[in-house]
Amino acid sequence: MIKITKDLIEEISQKAKDAPRRRINYNFHQGDSDPVQRFMNAVEPDTYLRPHKHDAGKTEVMLILRGRVLMVEFDDSGNITDHMVLDSSNGEKGVEFFAGSWHSFISLQEGSVLYEVKAGPYDEKKAKHFAEWSPEEGSKEALLFNEKIVEKLRIS
């Protein structure tokens, strides 16, 4: 049995705070070849997850374990088509992104942790296709991109 405990969530959350990218995964699957990839993703507000989509057949489920995270879906031109704030303190608990949909998320609260499930196997070269209309990770425009989305959607 794999146990997701308060202590484990706190441990990976602290690692995310100390990580250069301000996020970290904690994998439950045994390896990249597993048919189902399952992991916790601890994310801080000053991290940037570049909008991307996955190969056909690769849906992605995200559930909130702690904190608040804005989930965003885009069209092919980068226009926001849907969004939802996952909040561990209310009833908004999860989303499923369909295969081939552009998506990203933005941490709205320190110590936020997600549980993610997606189809494997994982191939780093094919796992994500990044949106050309979005800033690259590590660029000075990246966090500004997130700020503009939060402002546009009037998320507080």
Alpha helices in 2-43 (DSSP H): 6-18
pLDDT of residue 82: 98
pLDDT of residue 144: 96
pLDDT of residue 126: 65
Q: pLDDT digit string (tens) for 91-140?
A: 899 999 998 899 999 999 999 999 999 887 677 666 788 999 999 999 99
For residues 65 and 107, the answer to whether their CB atoms sit within 8 Å is no
* Burial category of 27 from C-beta neighbours within 10 Å (exposed 0-12, middle 13-18, buried 19 and up): middle
pLDDT of residue 34: 81
From 22, 115, 104, select the one nearest 65 (Cα to Cα).
Answer: 115
- The structural domains of the chain, ordered by start, are 6-147 (2.60.120.10)
Dist. CA 84–CA 92, nearest whole Å: 8
For residues 137 and 50, the answer to whether their CB atoms sit within 8 Å is yes
pLDDT of residue 124: 65
pLDDT of residue 58: 83
Q: pLDDT digit string (tens) for 9-35?
A: 999 999 999 999 999 999 998 877 788
**What token pair was written down for 49?**
């997850």
Q: What is the chain's mean pLDDT, rounded? A: 93
- Strand ranges (E), the chain: 23-27, 36-43, 52-53, 60-66, 68-74, 80-87, 94-97, 102-107, 112-119, 129-130
Q: Is 126 helix (H, G, I), strand (E, B) or coil?
A: coil
